[in-house]
Amino acid sequence: MNKARRNPFNLAAAHGILIVYTIIALFPVFVILINSFKERRSIFREPLALPHSESFSTVGYETVFNQGDFFLYFQNSLIVTVASLFFVLLFGAMAAFALAEYKFKGNTLMGLYLALGIMIPIRIGTVAILEMMVSTGLVNTLWALILVYTAQGLPLAVFILSEFMRQVSDDLKNAGRIDGLSEYTIFFRLVLPLVRPAMATVAVFNMIPIWNDLWFPLILAPAEETKTLTLGSQVFIGQFVTDWNAVLSALSMAILPVMVLYVIFSRQLIRGITSGAVK
């Protein structure tokens, strides 16, 4: 251990920079949160003021809970997000392992093929996807969304995970092979725990567009029973009149579950690295 890494001045500077950036990151969020507790006039009269006795109002939250079943929407969003992430991570890691580990004909081409999906906005394939869901009877089921998001998440997952898997030590895997472990055991037991941080990153990466997506819920599963939170909040954004109280409240609440997921994944990220079992 050396002096520089312990230098209190450096540490103070680090805190300084991080605090400044944290303020920049959180200020707009703070603006949203305080305004979600104010009545409409005060939002625009004094957008920076904290809610006080005159301006305090939970009308937005009340509207949200009166219009539609927001607990159900929460649940739907959660199921779709978690299930999609599960499949993205599982299938993505398997494919990434195949690409990173084995030298076979067309390896690079396969890698490129699996990356094509991030180069074309998936929205333009909407009609074909919807036709497929209609013919398989999956319209207005959560499965339609889970399938689309899984497909949508795979290219990025494979791309990132294969890069990380190439960095996993060959010695470790070869040692496993000498011990007679099957390729599957090597993957699940030796490699997966090592790329946990990357898996957590991919999970975080993917969960946000899934959670916030409006387009596919609108098209594939607009029914009341399958509405997601983002779609549910959309009723407050009208053609001419937008109920900002309700929008701010609904979307403020929508931040929480993603935050929780993020904290879980980022824990995973740390644990994967510090567990030390494989180093």
Partner 1 sequence: MSRTKLTAGLLATTMLVGTAASAQDVTLTIESWRNDDLTLWQDVIIPAFEAEHPGISVQFTPSAPAEYNAVLNSKLDAGSAGDLITCRPFDASLALYEAGHLTDLSDLDAMANFSDVAQSAWQTDDGSATFCMPMASVIHGFIYNADAFAELGLEEPTTVDEFFAVLDAIEEDGNYIPMAMGTADQWEAATMGYNNIGPNYWRGEEGRLALIAGEQSLTDPEWVGPLEQLARWGDYLGRGYEAQTYPDSQNLFTLGRAAIYPAGSWEITGFNAQADFAMGAFAPPVPNAGDECYISDHTDIAIGLNAASSNADAARTFLNWVGSAEFAEIYANALPGFFPLSNAEVTLEDPLAQEMISWRAECNSSIRSTYQILSRGTPNLENETWNASAQVIRGAEAPADAAARLQEGLASWYEPQQ
Partner 2 sequence: MRQSRIKWHIIVFLAPAVLVYTAIMIVPLFNTLRLSLFTEVDQERVYVGLENFRTLFGDPRWSESFWNALGNNFWFFFIHMLVQNPIGILLAALLSNPRLRFSALYRTAIFVPTILSFVIVGFAWKLILSPIWGIAPEMLDAVGLGFLYQPWLGLEETSLTTLALISVWQFVGIPMMLIYAALLSIPDEILEAGECDGITGMSAFWKIKLPLILPSIGIISILTFVGNFNAFDLIYAAQGALAGPNFATDILGTFMYRTFFGFQLQLGDPHMGSAIASAMFVIILIGVCFYLFAIQSRMRRYQF
**Cβ of 19: how many Cβ atoms within 10 Å?**
10
Tell which positions 59-78 bind partner 1, by CB under 8 A. Answer: 67
Q: Any contact of residue 132 with partner 2 (CB under 8 A)?
A: yes
Binding of residue 244 to partner 2 (CB under 8 A):
yes
Task: Give yes or no for residue 21 binding partner 2 (CB under 8 A).
Answer: yes
> Exactly one of 134, 223, 264, 273 binds partner 2 (CB under 8 A); which one?
273
Q: Rounded to the nearest whole angstrom, what is the least distance from the CB of residue 56 to partner 2 in the complex?
A: 19
Smaller CB distance to partner 1: residue 185 or 234? 234
Question: Which of partner 1, partner 2, none lies near 178, with the C-beta cut-off 5 to 8 A by kind?
Answer: none
Of residues 65 through 124, those in contact with partner 2 by CB under 8 A are 87, 90-92, 94-95, 97-99, 102, 104, 108, 110-124
120 is a contact residue toward partner 1 (CB under 8 A): no
Q: Which residue type, as a one-letter code, is found at position 99?
A: L
- Residue among 246, 253, 258, 263 at smallest CA distance from 211: 258
Nearer to partner 1, 19 or 237 (CB): 237
Q: Is 237 helix (H, G, I), strand (E, B) or coil?
A: strand
CA distance 236 to 73: 15
Shortest Cβ distance from residue 67 to partner 1 (Å)?
8
CB of 30 to partner 2, least distance (A): 9
Size, binding site for partner 2 by CB under 8 A: 109
What is the SS3 assignment for 242? strand
**Partner interacting with residue 104 (select from partner 2, partner 1, none; CB below 5-8 Å by kind):** partner 2
Contact criterion met (CB below 8 Å) for 229 and 254:
yes
- Dihedral sign (CA 55, 44, 242, 61): negative
Site for partner 1 in 219-278 (CB under 8 A): 219, 222, 234-242, 244
Residue with the two structure tokens 């946000």: 208
Residues in the chain: 279
CA separation for the pair 236, 258 (Å, rounded):
21
Helices (H), the chain: 8-36, 40-45, 59-66, 70-101, 107-115, 126-135, 142-165, 170-178, 183-185, 192-194, 196-212, 215-220, 229-233, 244-274
**Nearest residue (CB) to partner 2, 76 versus 150:** 150
Task: In whole angstroms, give the CA distance from residue 61 to residue 278.
Answer: 48
Residue window 143-182: x/- pattern of binding to partner 1, with contact defined by CB under 8 A: ----------------------------------------
Contact flag: residue 237 with partner 2 (CB under 8 A): yes
Q: Which residues bind partner 1 (CB under 8 A)?
A: 40-41, 44-45, 67, 126-127, 130-131, 133-134, 136-137, 139, 214-215, 218-219, 222, 234-242, 244
